Structure 1
Amino acid sequence: VQFTKPQDSFDALEDLTNQAELVLKELGLPYRVVMLCSGDLGFASAKTYDIEVWFPSQKRYREISSCSNTLDFQARRAKIKIKGTKENYFPHTLNGSGVAVGRCFAAILENYQTKDGNVKIPEKLVPYYGSEWLI
């Protein structure tokens, strides 16, 4: 959850979404960003992006992250106010799920598996894993 000034909330949503995207870019995973239509938005959300990663075995994209701007809806319900210079105001709240770790691991296994069944570790993870291959 992130609190922002009302005038900054949509820019902050873009930044939050870009942070989740960066993880997938660094891992070299194929993904797409989908802006949800109003019929698919959550009850409190004014704007939501779903980030979906490609799963070759399913031949489809699956959601791995979601980032939403709820404007001042959640702050009003929770009675959260920020002291402003002239008056107090309800901040806008953003929700971001980061990247679902289990689904991300599954996406790595599927997207980096070779024909012989081995899995090449994404370059950015090699220093942490200690090998280039998961056998």
Structure 2
Amino acid sequence: DIEAWMPGRNEYGEVTSTSNCTDYQARNLNIKFRRKGKNEYVHMLNGTAIATSRAPLAILENYQTKDGHVEIPKVLQKYVGKKQI
């Protein structure tokens, strides 16, 4: 898990998660591969790329200015096209 500071909660909150499911999901989905002539179940990862409500919330709460604007983190400015909203 990766967590971000959420001032409104006064605690860290999960913004993404990844789990090693070993062969549990593959058995239910019957997903196999062949190794040395023998079929075996694959091991799978399960992941949330981003919690679409919590990640933006963390940015808004941590970068909001006293006048109500939100400073866009430098690493995101090229994607947003602005320094502040």
TM-score category, normalised to shorter length? 0.7 to 0.9
- The structure with the largest helix share of the pair is 1
Deviations 1:91-132 (CA, angstroms, capped at 9, x unpaired):
101100111122211111101112232210011221222221
Equivalent-residue separation in structure 1 for 2:79 and 2:28 (angstroms) = 42
The aligned amino acid for 1:60 is E
Q: Secondary structure at the match of 1:120?
A: coil
RMSD: 1.4
Is 1:102 aligned to 2:53, yes or no? yes
Shift of 1:85: 2.6
* Alignment TM-score, normalising by the size of structure 2: 0.86
Identity %: 47
* Alignment TM-score, normalising by the size of structure 1: 0.57
- The structure with the largest strand share of the pair is 2
Report the counterpart of residue 26 of structure 2 in structure 1.
75
Name which one, 1 or 2, has greater alpha-carbon Rg: 2
Deviations 1:8-64 (CA, angstroms, capped at 9, x unpaired):
xxxxxxxxxxxxxxxxxxxxxxxxxxxxxxxxxxxxxxxxxx222110121011121
Is 1:63 aligned to 2:14, yes or no? yes
The gaps in structure 1 that reach 5 residues or longer are 1-49
Runs of 4+ in 1 over 3 A off after TM superposition: none
